[in-house]
Amino acid sequence: MAKASGEQHASPVRWLAPSGLRGRLLLLIAFVLLPAFGLILYTFAEQRTAAADRARGDALWLIRLVAAEHRALMESAQQQLLGLAQLPFVTHRNQAALCNRSFAGMLRHQPHYANLGVIDPDGNLRCSALPFGAPVNLADREYFRRAVQTRGIVIGDYQVGRVTGKSGINVAYPLFDSAGTLTGVVFVALDMASWLARVIAKTPLPEGSTLTVLDPRGTMLARHPDPDRWVGKTLPSAPLVQAILTHNGEGTTESRGVDGVERLYVYTPFAFSPDNKVYISAGIPTAVAYADVDRMLARSLVLLAIIATVVLLAVRWGSHILVLRPAAALIEAARKFGGGDLGARTGMSHAGGEFGRLAQTFDEMATALEARDRRLHAVEDERRLADARFADILRNAPDAVISIDTDQKILLFNRGAEAIFGYRPDEVVGRSLAMLLPARHAASHGGQVRRFAAGNELSREMGAQRDIQGRRKDGGEFPAVVTISKLEHNGETVMTAILRDITERKRAEDEIRRLNADLERRVRERTAQLTAANRELEAFSYSVSHDLRAPLRAIDGFSQALVEDYAGRLDDQADDYLQRVRAATQRMGQLIDDLLRLSRVTRAEMRHVPVDLSTLAAEIVAELRKSAPQRTVETVIAPGLTTRGDPALLRVMLENLLGNAWKFTGRTEGARIEFAATRGDNGEPLFRVRDNGAGFDMTYVDKLFGTFQRLHSPDEFPGTGIGLATVQRVVHRHGGHIHAEGAPGGGATFTFTLPEDSQYGNEQQQQQEDQETDNGRREVYPAG
Amino acid sequence: MAEEKYILLVEDNPDDEALTLRALKKNNIANRVVVARDGAEALDFLFGRGAHAGRNPENTPTVVLLDLKLPKVDGLEVLKALRADDRTRILPVVVLTSSKEERDIVASYRLGANSFIRKPVDFDQFIAAIGDLGLYWLVLNEPAPLR
């Protein structure tokens, strides 16, 4: 509709203006040239009018001149007649011969005279310059009658002479004798044609001009040129004659002459007397009158044409350079761009002018469009890639992916589905989903799917309560898990089920269940065994603590009884043996106690309460001092060392560490025992128990914490080799680490961590004490 | 008239019995020591039944030295039985045993033992312990009045 109206709209526009730029430009140029053309025409019209005026003026001047000449001719003819009237051979009728001779002579000197003659009063020609044969009677001539009548000089009408045969005017004068009786009439016949020729010869008339003398009846009395052809003819219907006769005065007219030539005529009446009137008309051919003007017009037009040609060529060339080329470049760029070449640019300068701006706008638009196109392409590529990826995922997914519509007709059936169900896509697409389900389940599944389709959920795992069964092409059924999701596009709902055959998984689950049951059974058995073993261990340690000690006590007790009761009866050797028996039993008792403690440390239930290690250490040191009041031992216990743990176990630990330190400084002068803490690498407190006692060889550091491992002989330092094993277990049970450093005779340092909420008091104070220690108050005991 | 202060030693091990008696002697504790060789016998003695039927159960020992590991009825069961009976509810019972198992200690005190003494292996220490024990229970301690 819009298109149609546009077309309707376009056509008049196209008609009004050429569609091409060059055409429009040329049209503009034509608009410019048109006034010049008009001006030229106007000037031409003006000049033509001026030329006509000039021609009229010339003609007027000519006819006035002719009239004056005519008058002069008439007057000279009158003078001539007055003179002739005095001559005897004129007045005397009998001197005709002389008269003829004289007149003939005169006629030779008077070129304008057609004839000279005398007429008798009866009208017979008496004498004539031109010879005449038969008598000629001129009594009917108007000039004769008027001369007789008026008895004065008469200028006759234009007439054609009977003797001369020429047109002319006769001037007559009556002759009287002394009595006043008319004796004759002397006349001169003026040869108007030759006169007129002479007058014209003197006058520069343009070529083709005519001069005509008419009488009031329209008879041509004289004409130049071609007098012979026209004189005497009456042409009352000729336009000029009409104009002259109707106008009856001086005037001009432009009309076609009798010879068919267009002329500009000027005419004026001329009269010798009131009743003797003629008209003189001069005609100048319009072609001649307008020749200059027309030439000028032609020149102007030629010039204009040349200018127009030059201008149009210039415009054509200029428009090509200035307009068409950029326009063509723009069009070409637009065409290429439109044709799909998005890299197309105008290649034009963007500087200045509408074309520059247009080119810039176009280039910018093209760049923007190209960028957008690139982006679109990128997006498109991405989308295609995503589609391809999605398609690959769909194709290669081991799960069955099946799309159905709301009527549960299968739309999509991927390769995974083929593998699982054994159908080819063409066997199922378009058919009902029910074919993939066991017949007995189809109805309930269909209902579930329908409810899902109608519901608000977007995805859902089907068969959450019980397994879904699928049916293969061969009729076999298999357990499956199905997730169904819903998508709506353009009002169309598509549901996609992702289905996995879980036969294997089921089997694996069953296997796992079976294995689990088996495992549980075995755990139960093992637990029972362990419980039994534990009970045995308990019984063992109980009986160790009870039953093993009893015999030892008996051995010791009775050995003592022997020593006491048989004193004097046993020799020294026997006493020594009994003492050895007692020592051995007591060591065994200690061993049993330590072992029991070690096992208790391992078995005991842990408590987790705040423990003040500083206080604990102080108590232990106090007990040690009490057990050996004779010893002088410097002890340094940093205050504020706390942790969280089992107080009993921590006490056992510190008892062993401090007890060891106490024991191994037993032979050291200036014995010193220190319990302190420093900050470890990761900020945790590093507790340490340091002594300056016997120390140990680092070679055996690995054995230090082993059960029953001793680095000193019992003679040197008594011990069971269980204490440090117990310490390590306590530390480990608290999640910490312990290590030892030492040198034979160089003392030992036990460093341990207790990660749970440990504090290390005032670090600075400890460092100070460290320095004191390092300042050499320690004495090195010789290695033993 | 004041009843004779005697000690009931419940001990199955003859070695320990001998050593205990020796230790008492070494500490110049001359009080009579009645020895029961298992828990059942101890209870029979204390409640005047079985082999000890006819014995006046109100003639209670000044202190019972009770081993825990006993044939037939063990020490803790004996203690439980004693504390369950009005007649022996406040009878001083010193658990004297080789064990130092915490659970034994806890169980003993929970069942109403008056003291828990572990028999040291070192006989010198054993003598010292028996000496302290005898001094305390037989001399220092004022027994509850008999009703």
| Residue of chain B with shortest Cα separation from A648 | B102
- Cβ contact A83:A89 at 8 Å: no
Which among A551, A561, A600 has the least Cβ separation from residue B22?
A561
A-chain CB neighbours of B98 within 8 Å are 545-547, 549-550, 553
| Strand pairing report for B32-36 and A251-256 | unpaired
- Cβ contact A285:A206 at 8 Å: yes
Interface-testing mutation among A534, A555, A560, with chain B (most B C-beta atoms within 10 A): A560
B-chain CB neighbours of A583 within 8 Å are none
ipTM of the complex: 0.77
Cis peptide leading into residue A225 (ω within 30°): yes
Contact with chain A for residue B100, Cβ under 8 A: yes
- In degrees, rounded to 5, the angle at the alpha carbon of residue A531 between the alpha carbons of residues A530 and A534 is 85
SS3 A285: strand
Percent of chain B having pLDDT more than 70?
A: 97
Count the alpha carbons within 13 Å of B46 in the hemisphere toward its beta carbon.
33
State whether A586 and B69 contact (CB < 8 Å): no
Task: Return the pLDDT at B122.
Answer: 85
Contact with chain A for residue B99, Cβ under 8 A: yes
Interface-testing mutation among A545, A585, A599, with chain B (most B C-beta atoms within 10 A): A545
Contact with chain A for residue B117, Cβ under 8 A: no
State whether A559 and B102 contact (CB < 8 Å): no
State whether A550 and B120 contact (CB < 8 Å): no
Q: Nearest C-alpha of chain A: how many angstroms from B22?
A: 8
Task: Return the pLDDT at B133.
Answer: 86
pTM above 0.80, yes or no: no
B-chain CB neighbours of A578 within 8 Å are none
Residue A213 CA to residue A169 CA, distance in Å, equals 12
- Report residue A276's pLDDT band, with 50, 70 and 90 as the boundaries: low
| Residue of chain A with shortest Cα separation from B25 | A561
Residue A541 has pLDDT above 60, yes or no: yes
- Cβ contact A187:A174 at 8 Å: no
**A contact set with B (CB within 8 A):** 541-542, 545-547, 549-554, 556-561, 582, 585-586, 588-590, 592-593, 596, 600
Percent of chain A having pLDDT more than 90?
A: 6
Say how many C-beta atoms besides its own lie within 10 A of residue B82's C-beta: 24
Which among B18, B68, B123 has the least Cβ separation from residue A556?
B123
- For the segment A641-668, the average pLDDT, to the nearest whole number, is 90
Please choose, from the candidates B48, B16, B56, the residue with its C-alpha nearest in 3D space to the C-alpha of residue B33: B16
Task: Return the pLDDT at A8.
Answer: 44
Q: Nearest C-alpha of chain B: how many angstroms from A551?
A: 8
Tens digits of residue pLDDT in A758-775: 776 654 444 444 444 433
Task: Return the pLDDT at A775.
Answer: 35
Task: Return the pLDDT at A396.
Answer: 81
Contact with chain A for residue B16, Cβ under 8 A: yes
State whether B123 and A560 contact (CB < 8 Å): yes
| Strand pairing report for A633-637 and A671-679 | parallel
Residue A549 has pLDDT above 70, yes or no: yes
If you count them, how many residues does chain A have?
Answer: 784
Tens digits of residue pLDDT in A588-610: 888 888 877 777 777 777 888 99
Burial of A654 (0-12, 13-18, 19+ CB in 10 A): buried
Residues linked to residue A590 through DSSP beta bridges, in sequence order: none
- For the segment A217-237, the average pLDDT, to the nearest whole number, is 72
B-chain CB neighbours of A589 within 8 Å are 120-122
Interface-testing mutation among B70, B123, B124, with chain A (most A C-beta atoms within 10 A): B123
- Show Cβ contacts of residue A342 under 8 Å, excluding neighbours closer than 6 positions: A366, A369, A370, A373
Average pLDDT, chain A: 79
Contact with chain A for residue B41, Cβ under 8 A: no
State whether B99 and A558 contact (CB < 8 Å): no
Interface-testing mutation among A537, A549, A601, with chain B (most B C-beta atoms within 10 A): A549
Residue B145 CA to residue B147 CA, distance in Å, equals 6
